[in-house]
Structure 1
Amino acid sequence: MKKLLLFFLISSTMFAQIERIEPPFWYAGMHNPELQIMVYGKNISKYNVSTSNSIPITKVERTENPNYIFVTINTKNIPPKDFYFLFKENEKVIFTQKYSLKQRRENSAVRKSFDASDMMYLIMPDRFANGYLKNDSDKLTTEKYNRELPEGRHGGDIQGVINHLDYIAALGATTLWITPLCEDNEAVYSYHSYAQTDVYKIDPRYGTNEDYTRLATEMHKKNLKLVMDYVTNHWGLQHWMMKDLPTQDWIHQFENFTQTNHRRTVIHDINASKSDTKICMDGWFAPSMPDLNQTNPLVLNYLTQNAIWWIESSNLDGFRVDTYNYADPIAITKWTKAITDEYPNFNIVGEISMRDQAQLSYWQKDSPIGKIQNFNSHLPSVMDFILSDALLTVFNEDGNWESGMAKVYNNFANDFLFPNVNNLLIFAENHDTNRINHVYKNDIEKYKMTMSLLATVRGIPQLYYGSEIGMAGNKDDGGDAAIRQDFPGGWEADPINAFTKEGRTQGQNEYFDFTSKLFNWRKNKSVVHFGKMTHYIPEDNTYVYFRYNATDPSVSELAKQSVMVLFNNSSETKTLKTDRFVENIGNFKTGKDVITDKIIDVTKEITLEPKSALILELK
């Protein structure tokens, strides 16, 4: 046996021509035992492939490109071990390749994910904090560090995130969504990282794969969860495969460049033309983003295994999936189901930027709307863009039948369309929208109203980095760079360090202290996480709703909770008679203001200051 292994090692050194093997390793004991391994190298397909250690090969696929071979093995009942692929010509072993099946973490399959008890903090890593100066540029990547360029590489990295986990936890966040970290070797705009060029490798300007795993480890020590931003729809034009495609239909190709029409309604539109549907799903998102063909089984398996590999190797807690419904709906459904079959508790939130509740609901798992067309996405969560649109305008509006607080009320009136409203990701802004502090001209009272609503309605609240210290940005004038500015204090030379109370200005502390108090209060309020909601028709631009668990017979009298939330979106003081809300106030006599701790009598009337929100724990 020693002689055989020595031969393997010698022959690998002498004849190896494998440039890539993906996944680079795998895990024993997975739910799906079938593993498709892509091997890339000059004329690799001319060889016959076998394995050592009696690892069964169930399929070998060759394509029109001789530089690829896809080998599927069955890992069922195979313990963690190393083995070898043997590449033969005329029954002679020409070279070998070592491969590893690793031991999974304990209880990996049943890992807990994020849910409505969490608050998600969104950061763009290049703009958050620079923790390691030596990786600001890399010799193998095209774009170099240039913090003077608004849309250039600014040097933020994984170490910078690790350095400020205590800040994130103090804010009240429990989950971190980081925009993509995989290598993006485009010549410009690479900090964006949605045009990935190697999906098995962390961009060296952010760190290493080991750094990413270390980030997850450090976060778990602080009871924080890590969500990866995953891209299934497209890669970057400089992805290494684009220079030597495994198959011509690995990506969608047209005679002339064709961009998606962005009309994703064609997917469920029974009147849509085939040509419009094809352009929507197959057209490229941008000239630098080739559109992946998930209907090709080799592509779909590649993407599925890549996602599972990241979950397993870096110990992730969830996915946010970019441009989810630009992919073929049947294929992306298979991708999602394969992941949740492996990890039944794993939450995946899709970017479904539809502005209609029925269309948005269509994409959530077990949707009654999807059932009309016998479609089930198996996607646990979707992003509530309708609420986001409302929150970017509503606190600047005078109230009438449709605007002001009526716009928020109307949004929640359509909750019956969703199979799981508690598993919607709710937000006012993200890395693609104008910042709320720009929209509201840094009026902190309007910021407080926005956050108060996000913290107390159904769903999983998401906060965009920097808003908690008053960061603003006008995308309409300054482009994306204006809404993705550097976090003050993330760089050594910054004149202000907003990561610390002492370093923040008085105004920044006012924003931070409110946000921290609010979301730390929310952490332990299951009545807000999973309770029921009753709301009342807005009057004079005021709006009142309750979150409660009192109707649940399994809840003891001592554990019964009710939270009353009141908004005055007018510019005048309002006094609300509380007899209108008696069905929810019931026998409660007082309410504790969760921000000021002040006790307020709720038996007769409640006075609200102009442009204010009040959150009361009823007693």
Structure 2
Amino acid sequence: MKKLLPIIIVFLFFSCVKKSKNASIELEVANTYLEKVDPPNWWVGFNNNRLQLLVKEDRITNYKVSIDYPGVYLKQVHTADSPNYLFLDLDIAKNTKPGKFDIIFKNDSITKKHTYELKRRSFDSNKLIGFDSSDAIYLITPDRFVNGDDTNDIIKELKEKQIDRSHNYKRHGGDIKGIIEHLDYIEKLGFTSIWPTPLLINDMPESSYHGYAITDYYEVDPRFGSLIDYKKLSFELRRRKMKLIMDQVVNHCGLNHWWMLDLPFKNWINHQENYENNKSNWNWETVITSNHRRTTNQDPYASEKDKSLNVDGWFVPQMPDLNQRNPYMATYLIQNSIWWIETLQLGGIRQDTYPYPDKEFMSNWAKAITTEYPNFTIVGEEWSYNPLLIGYWQQGAKNKDQYESNLKSTMDFAMQKNIVNALNEEESWDKGLIKMYEGLANDFHYAEPRDIMIFPDNHDMSRIFTQLKGDVVNTKMALSYMLVLPRIPQIYYGTEILMNDFEKPGDHGLIRSDFPGGWKEDTINAFIKKGLTPEQIDMQIFLSKILNYRKQSKAIQEGKTIHFAPFDGVYVLFRTYNNEVVVHIINKNKTAVTIDLNRFAEMNLKGRIFKNVISGERFIWNETMELKGKGSLLLTSIKE
């Protein structure tokens, strides 16, 4: 025994050392923190069972990866040009159960662990209904709407640290909580959906209140609130049977996006070499900006140079242009959109700067979304006054180049301009109301006019009241006409109280002015009509009556459209559905006129009783109608 004692002591010593080493390894594994894993979680039960994880961690390419979870298969591990990235291709079997599992990363001396979660889906994707022509959308710039939580106005860790409501391009403090607290107001006005401009983090040093310079595609800007707040906004809208539309940006990100310090691939962004060579002097002289020639997407004669400048050029120097032709970038962006749809149960996506990214990617992106959510709606921003370009991007278009966008809706800048011009111009054979009439006649070109979005203005253009030169009657005519068209209408916050940018027309900061009553110190409060002028209150009531009527009008939402060419300064449009008839009349004459109703005999309305949607007055359709002066008239048939 004495001879064995030294051997036993040595064995116990090394055993303890081994246990100690194992314990330290286990401790290291248990407390590993990886810099980034995107998407941060996923779900079981998608049609597409593939998932690609972006993993960001120092020297991660030196690690071997393994996963041991029933139904989850690691198919391939891709390295990047940077040693600090891996891209993991996973297959998730149809019968995989939701739960958490560990992704193990090992090299010769270190083991790291990341716990990943597959969640159970909380709704049937076939029952997720996107916005359509039955909806009316309220567009909000969140920083300028309501400051519901002043404790998050300044976040010391972020680069922009100033709140200054006197400055049009600094942050003012509006947030998600402010929107939630005023959903009753929005609902009572008659809106069924809201579209906030982007709520994701913009950690830029200045002028990023608008949200279009995203610096992390999976993080809510803490100055707007948290992911919990965003989810609550969606829940509160669904509780009211309203929809949340998310403003997304796949064309560009913010210059301070986290990956700009260490780009995964040499072609992650467009003109990357130029950027990396000029980081220390990045300005207008060094950036290769877009030529903004969006027609190069369709032009059969376009040069390759011009095509490249449109697709690859940077929107502005502070917004790097993403290269969607890189397959890893493409997958990242597609998965991000699906992640937000699933997380928030969205009612739609508005995609910024639609004609600027690679158009084949945009088709694949939209198709990937609608494959998972067949009744979902995406609207793309195509700022063009040419109906040919607007129609090109809508799914079902018979394009000569055979391009299929898979995009349900696009934005009708052409009709918006026609309406403004028609109301501002004096009447003649080729000016005035005829422009509205002929603008609507262009609907023959669209695959589905009813799915196109119409609007009086938005966050990038002068307020409609400004465009119409401060004419209240013209503004009412524009709004009432848009709201009865075979379209999806969008109204910008504050239109209901005649907000304007008279001081400096077209100035973005002024267009996006604070909504009165959204801050504790405001002396005017439009939410409760405190301090508003009689004209502002009248416009609130006018718009609300039309919107609330529109909510229950099948004729407006999906009915047949018939209009008659303008005559003597009067333009008449009808919407019909079964026995419901809606009549919209615009009269540009400054004095009373009498119109002959026999001109509209084909509508077969003689003897029908109509009600004025605004005033409630009744009218029997017979031989003539007196229009008392300039303005619009909205009539609805009464069941006999």
TM-score range, shorter chain: over 0.9
Aligned to 1:269: 299
CA displacement at 1:546 relative to structure 2: 0.7
Alignment of 1:106-505 (within 5 A): 106-144=123-161, 145-253=163-271, 255=274, 256-368=286-398, 370=399, 372-474=400-502, 476-477=504-505, 479-502=507-530, 504-505=532-533
Q: CA deviation at 1:451?
A: 1.3
- Superposed CA RMSD in Å reads 1.8
* One-letter identity of the residue aligned with 1:132: D
Q: In 2, distance between residues paired with 1:574 and 1:587? A: 20
Alignment correspondent of 1:57: 74
User: Structure 1, residues 45-92: CA drift from partner, whole Å, max 9, x if none?
Assistant: 1111110224201121111101000001111221111101011225x7
Match of 1:609 among 624, 628, 634: 628
**Residue equivalent to 2:113:** 96
CA spacing shift, 1:155–1:9, aligned 2, 3 Å: farther
Q: Is the 8 A contact 1:438 1:472 kept in 2?
A: yes
Stretch moving more, 167-176 or 568-577:
568-577
Preserved contact between residue 172 and residue 516 of structure 1 (Cα < 8 Å): yes
1:477 and 1:591, CA in 2 relative to 1: closer, same or farther beyond 3 A? Answer: closer
Residue 589 of structure 1, CA deviation: 2.6
Does the 8 Å CA contact 2:486/2:556 hold for their aligned counterparts?
yes
**Structure 1 residue 575 corresponds to structure 2 residue 594:** yes
Equivalent residues of 1:119, 1:460 under 8 A apart: yes
CA displacement, residues 523-569 of structure 1 (integer Å, 9 cap, x when unaligned): 0001111111111111122111110124xxxxxxxxx2111111112
Q: 2-side partners of 1:23 and 1:586: how far apart?
A: 58
Q: Give CA deviations for 1:291-328 in whole Å, capped at 9, x if unaligned.
A: 00111110010000001101111221110110011111
Shift of 1:476: 4.8
Is the 1:398–1:404 Cα contact (8 Å) retained in structure 2? Answer: yes
Q: How many residues matched?
A: 602
* Structure 1 position 105 matched with structure 2 position 122: yes
Deviates more, 1:467-476 or 1:488-497: 467-476
Q: C-alpha distance in 2, partners of 1:566/1:387?
A: 18
Q: Answer with 142-151 or 22-31: which moved more.
A: 142-151
CA deviation vs aligned residue, 1:426-470 (integer Å, no higher than 9, x gap): 001001111111223433211211111011111111111001011
Task: Return 491-500 or 569-578, whichever deviates more.
Answer: 569-578
Instruction: State whether residues 25 and 101 of structure 1, in contact with CA within 8 Å, keep that contact through their aligned partners in structure 2.
Output: yes
Residue 373 of structure 1, CA deviation: 1.0
Code of the residue aligned with 2:217 in structure 1: it is V
CA displacement, residues 486-536 of structure 1 (integer Å, 9 cap, x when unaligned)? 000000000011111455443321111111111001100011111111111
Cα distance per residue 1:141-198 (max 9 Å; x no partner): 1112222222100000000000100000011000000000000011111101101111
Amino acid in the other structure paired with 2:429: W
- Greater shift, 107-116 or 469-478, is seen at 469-478
**Contact map agreement 1:392 1:429 (CA 8 A) in 2:** no
- Unpaired runs of at least 5, structure 2: 1-21, 275-285
- State the alpha-carbon separation in 2 of the partners of residues 44 and 268 from structure 1: 43
Compare 349-358 and 227-236 and name the one that shifted more: 349-358
- State the alpha-carbon separation in 2 of the partners of residues 468 and 505 from structure 1: 12
Per-residue CA distance 1:273-298 (angstroms, 9 max, x = gap): 00000001100111111000111110
Residue of 75, 78, 82 corresponding to 2:92: 75
**Cα deviation digits, residues 341-361 of structure 1 (max 9, x gap):** 110001000001121111110
- The Cα shift of 1:6 comes to 9.9
Partner Cα distance (1:9, 1:25) in 2:
24
TM-score (norm 2): 0.91
CA separation of 1:504/1:276 partners in 2, compared to 1, >3 Å: closer, same or farther? same
Question: 1:298 corresponds to which letter in structure 2?
Answer: Y
Equivalent in the alignment of 2:12 = none
What corresponds to 2:3 in structure 1? none
Shift of 1:7: 9.6
Alpha-carbon deviation of 1:581? 0.6
Q: Which secondary structure does the structure 2 equivalent of 1:18 belong to?
A: coil
- Rate the CA distance shift 1:335–1:484 in 2: closer, same or farther, 3 A: same
Q: Provide the identity percentage.
A: 40
- Where 1:204 maps in the other structure, the secondary structure is coil
**Secondary structure class of the residue paired with 1:249:** coil
1:160 is paired with a residue whose SS is: helix
CA contact (8 A) 1:8 1:95 kept: no
Partner SS for 1:201: coil
Which of the two has higher C-alpha Rg?
2
Gaps of 5+ in 1: 551-559
2:61 equivalent among 30, 38, 45: 45
Greater mean alpha carbon deviation, residues 470-479 or residues 44-53: 470-479
Report the counterpart of residue 523 of structure 1 in structure 2: 551
Q: Quick one: distance in 2 between partners of 1:214 and 1:239?
A: 26
Q: Distance in 2 between matches of 1:141 and 1:444?
A: 43
